[in-house]
Amino acid sequence: MKVIVIKCGGSILNSLSEDFFLSIDRLKNSGFHPVLVHGGGPDINETLDLYKIKPEFKDGLRKTTEEVMHIVELVLSGKTNRKLVNLLEHAGHKALGLNGSDCSLLQAAFVNWETLGFVGKVESVNKNLLESILEIGCIPVITPIASGPHGQKLNVNADMAAGAVASALHAEMCVFVTDVDGVLKDGNLIQELTVQEAIKLIEEGTVYGGMKPKVETALSVLSQGAKRVMIASGKNKFYDNNSFIGTAFVSENLYMKGAAK
Ligand SMILES: Nc1ncnc2c1ncn2[C@@H]1O[C@H](COP(=O)(O)OP(=O)(O)O)[C@@H](O)[C@H]1O
Ligand SMILES: CC(=O)N[C@@H](CCC(=O)OP(=O)(O)O)C(=O)O
């Protein structure tokens, strides 16, 4: 089964274009089975603000107290996931929303209880569940909340959750859809990045903020055997004429000039 994992960032979730859904149609016509993982950082921040709670991050991960965890779940499962499932259904797809903590879909360990609280790192994925959903022609839409070692719910960075799902499913492709065309340098899109080039962009500070975990996860997915990894925009088509549009990550030994086909 040719699986593609598509991570939909919170930066773009409220303004996904028709072209985004058209790209999903085209992918399905090309024989790909999409699995979606969504973020929702900006929506969480907005709701925390209503409760007068100041968002706190450490190395790109949200400090998650018990109170914050309740709000994360309320927003991601109750609002963001519902919205994406509904948009997909409206675009003519069959979509099934899943909390990562349901049915042991995502099982995680604490990253660092002392500094981050209820934040997890995915250690296993219920691959059989996802494959059964794909077999009946549905698109799984996964909320990045995992079950912890003693059944606690843990907040997982959505880029990292998508990376773990892509690796577990041995996905052919993993695309991180966000609010920019891909990795930019001096305002220009970089079409292809080798591992070494990507590390250099992080070190020199060209890649920073939310782009950093995305690029790091992209490199990790690539090293775990995904054939293609991309960062692309949800404002335009990210797949057309059998080609992906955005920044493609390539292993050194696969390095070739030209667009990723
Ligand atoms: N080199 C870069 N190229 C493109 N965007 C970058 C770069 N470095 C940092 N960014 C920032 O990363 C953001 C995307 O990350 P983020 O806001 O976390 O998105 P998402 O919610 O989709 O995961 C961009 O909007 C941009 O502000
Ligand atoms: C641990 C952690 O940081 N979790 C993230 C989960 C959502 C997410 O990653 O959303 P984006 O893709 O929009 O950034 C958070 O609480 O914001």
DSSP-based three-state secondary structure for 249: strand
* 13 closest CA partner among 34, 45, 38: 38
On whether 253 is known to bind a ligand per the annotation, the reply is no
* 87 closest CA partner among 6, 18, 174, 177: 18
Cα 122 to Cα 13, 149, 165, distances in angstroms = 23, 11, 9
Q: Which two structure tokens, joined as six digits, stand for 26?
A: 């085209």
DSSP count for the chain of H helices, then E strands: 9, 18
**Which is it for strands 139-143 and 95-99: parallel, antiparallel or unpaired?**
parallel
Q: How confident is the prediction along the chain (261 residues), in pLDDT tens digits per residue?
A: 999 999 999 999 999 999 999 999 999 999 999 999 999 999 999 999 999 999 999 988 999 999 999 999 999 999 999 999 999 999 999 999 999 999 999 999 999 999 999 999 999 999 999 999 999 999 999 999 999 999 999 999 999 999 999 999 999 999 999 999 999 999 999 999 999 999 999 999 999 988 998 999 999 999 988 889 999 999 999 999 889 999 999 987 554 444 444
Cα 209 to Cα 29, 43, 60, 94, distances in angstroms = 35, 17, 7, 34
On whether 228 is known to bind a ligand per the annotation, the reply is no
- 40-69 pLDDT, tens per residue? 999 999 999 999 999 999 988 999 999 999
Cα 25 to Cα 18, 83, 158, distances in angstroms = 11, 19, 23
On whether 62 is known to bind a ligand per the annotation, the reply is yes
Residue 119 CB contacts under 8 Å (≥ 6 apart), including other chains:
61, 62, 63, 64, 110, 111, 112, 154, 155, 156, 157
Pocket of ligand 2 (CB under 6 A): 9-11, 39-41, 44, 61-62, 72, 119, 144, 155-158, 210
9 C-beta closer than 6 A to ligand 1: yes
DSSP-based three-state secondary structure for 183: coil
Rounded (5°) CA angle 180-185-187:
60
Alpha carbon of 228 to ligand 1 centroid (Å): 20
Alpha carbon of 180 to ligand 1 centroid (Å): 7
Q: What are the φ and ψ backbone dihedral angles of 150, each rounded to 5 degrees? A: -120, 35
In angstroms, the first-to-last Cα distance of the chain is 19
ipTM rounded to 2 decimals: 0.98
Cβ atoms of residues 127 and 169 within 8 Å: yes
CA distance 160 to 176: 11
- 218-253 pLDDT, tens per residue? 999 999 888 899 999 999 999 998 899 999 999 875
Q: Which two structure tokens, joined as six digits, stand for 231?
A: 């960062």
